[in-house]
Amino acid sequence: MHPPVRSIQKKKQNVEIVSTFPAQPSPMASLTICRATLTRLPALQLTTSPSASPSVSFNFNCFRSRILRIISPKRHHHHRATMASSAPAQERTTAPYGSWKSPITADVVSGASKGLEGTAVDGQGRLIVLESRPNEGGRAVLVRLADKAGDEAVDLTPKEFAVRTTCQEYGGGAFAVSGDTVIFSNYKDQRLYKQSINGRDSTPVAITPDYGSPVISYADGVFDYRFNRFFTVREDQRESATNSTTTIVAVDLNGKDVQEPTVVISGNDFYAFPRLDPKGERIAWIEWGHPNMPWDRSELWVGYISENGQKGRSYLSIVDDAQSSLSVLDIPFTDIDNITLGNHCLYIEGASAVDPSSVAKITLDAIQSKVLEFNIIWSSSPDSSKYQSYYSLPEFIEFPTEVPGQSAYAYFYPPSNPDYQASKDEKPPLLLKSHGGPTGETRGILNLSVQYWTSRGWAFVDVNYGGSTGYGREYRDRLLLKWGIVDVNDCCSCAKFLVDSGLVDGNRLCITGGSAGGYTTLAALAFKDTFKAGSSLYGVADVGLLRAETHKFESHYIDNLVGDEKDYYERSPINFVDQFSCPIILFQGLEDKVVPPDQARKIYEALKKKGLPVALVEYEGEQHGFRKAENIKFTLEQQMVFFARLVGHFNVADEITPIKIENFD
């Protein structure tokens, strides 16, 4: 079963990219599932080439990008139990919404759900995944999955290492595999390490200098076979932590001595996705500069590589897609994050309404247009199928905004528990979630943290307010200069729509969000009276302070989202604490550089002084987003009991010791 889904093209101003596959010695090496449309190839002073075609093509070897989405119209049953059961229905207990007991506990959500942060294939065609583990403090480990029945998955990363990069704060692209060699970024020191993954000696060896502290980080690299080096994006904070220097560098792989990487491409504010063509003669990358974000305006460059490094040539190319064709693969996933090319197969990172984030192995027919086999070989929540009878399936909804004739979108999850029902005259409490970004997107895929609420009798709605990605540029541009207005109005309009539709209790409306979603939460509580309580996770309280203190990658992000100095003041909830009128609980990581801890502390102290029920939870060792299982669990449980005590008017079924709430306990 699937919710109704809008089929929408995602476009960028200068580049429209879906994905392609890296060239490997395989009969499928020429397979293209997507295309890259180049509207401009500026000049590059890297190398010279005696001749070149006026039309340039190349492959993106994307092992860490979220740029492909496949929409499947129907559900396949692939070695998995269905939602329906032939067993006789058991009698359901009648109990108030929110008080239902559920097997989807906070322990299940925080501990059983692993994170998938990338895939690659080694020289023997075996799949390698980067797996983050909340039960190990959020440590990310490279794992080689079993290739055949009877084999076991093998951890490749030694226990004293963790594969993670903090480049541009958000990281991504923390490893690359070529044959039997992996290069990865180690979280503790942010150095690059080279490791043999199939030989006897698998001890990682550092290949970048030790600067005494992690002032330099690397991300998203690719092997250069011609000159035995490694191209990668580097962020250098040696001169300034707030205005770092970003370049593409080449790391030498020839000698035993660690050398300073060679800067190959520089001059702009940001770089991403360095990729080589199959012969290693050309390099392609994306770059952009302040005040733009990459989805607003970015450029795709191609340059030639040679030993003498003379000046290159520039080309202006227009690609006509009129003669191209596209075969749509019919697979169960409704959402695709990434594709890795294997030996005679594809590895797909994806999910659906009943599949958590997973990796599937796909075999195609001879003409590579139909799926012959589809098997899930890795799952972020391997035991999730045993909770299927408790799942609430997302319902895609379209609701009117405050602008006449305009709509916005969301995924609504009604309460669902086969063991319980509420009285006929009761409507459920609602938890509305505002996603981060703010130019992010929520998707109708299985998320156990959502099911944690719905299986206990809560209704849950995930809002894609105006400004969200995935609905076209015009939709995303709704947020320009109106952050804190459009997102807030749309969230309130969504809640009102659900109340007017008779789906939720208008007196028990709660809102939550993290990062930019936390800001929307605080702004909704400061400037509107729709919600009765809120939960902000590492959210923004002072937009002006965010602009002054945030990291380089987003240092100009909000210039296009807010406006002038007056707008910064008027959009900051911290300046209008007198307008808050309901309880709030805040959660904050003390090592967060994206939204510094002072943001949460300022709003906490102000609301405490005002006399409103408020609580603040701070986590040592956590950054922007919580990775440790115990903190994920604690956050989830404390939100539940906070809302139950102050808004829900029911007792939670779980044994949870509530934290102290100022001005309430």
Query: Residue 10 pLDDT > 70, yes or no?
Result: no
Per-residue burial over 616-651, b if 16 or more Cβ lie within 10 Å, else e, is bbebeebbbbbbbbbbbbbbbbbbbbbbbbbbbebe
Task: Report which of 475, 21, 551, 36 is spatially closest to residue 299, judged by C-alpha positions.
Answer: 36
Pick among 3.90.1010, 3.40.50, 2.120.10, 2.40.10: CATH of 15-74+112-382 = 2.120.10
Which of residues 137 and 284 earns the better pLDDT score? 284
Global pTM reads 0.61
Both tokens assigned to 484: 């804190």
At 43-66, the pLDDT tens digits run 333 333 333 333 333 333 333 333
Q: From CA 245, how far away is CA 375, in angstroms rounded?
A: 43
520, exposed or middle or buried, with CB in 10 Å at 0-12, 13-18, 19+? buried
| Average pLDDT of the chain, as a whole number | 79
The pLDDT score that the predictor gives to residue 555 is 58
Most confident of 256-260, 467-471, 613-617: 613-617
At 161-200, the pLDDT tens digits run 988 988 877 777 889 998 889 999 888 889 999 998 876 7
Domain boundaries, the chain: 15-74+112-382, 386-648
User: Length of the chain, please?
Assistant: 665
CA angle 60, 62, 65 (to 5 degrees): 125
- Cβ atoms 637, 656 nearer than 8 A: yes
Which superfamily, per CATH, for 386-648? Alpha/Beta hydrolase fold, catalytic domain (3.40.50.1820)
Q: From CA 398, how far away is CA 403, in angstroms rounded?
A: 14
How many CB atoms are closer than 10 A to CB 479?
23
Query: Residue 308 pLDDT > 70, yes or no?
Result: no
The pLDDT score that the predictor gives to residue 54 is 32
Q: From CA 174, how far away is CA 187, in angstroms rounded?
A: 9
At 404-441, the pLDDT tens digits run 888 899 999 999 999 999 999 999 999 999 998 788 88
Count of alpha carbons within 13 angstroms of residue 382, beta-carbon side:
3
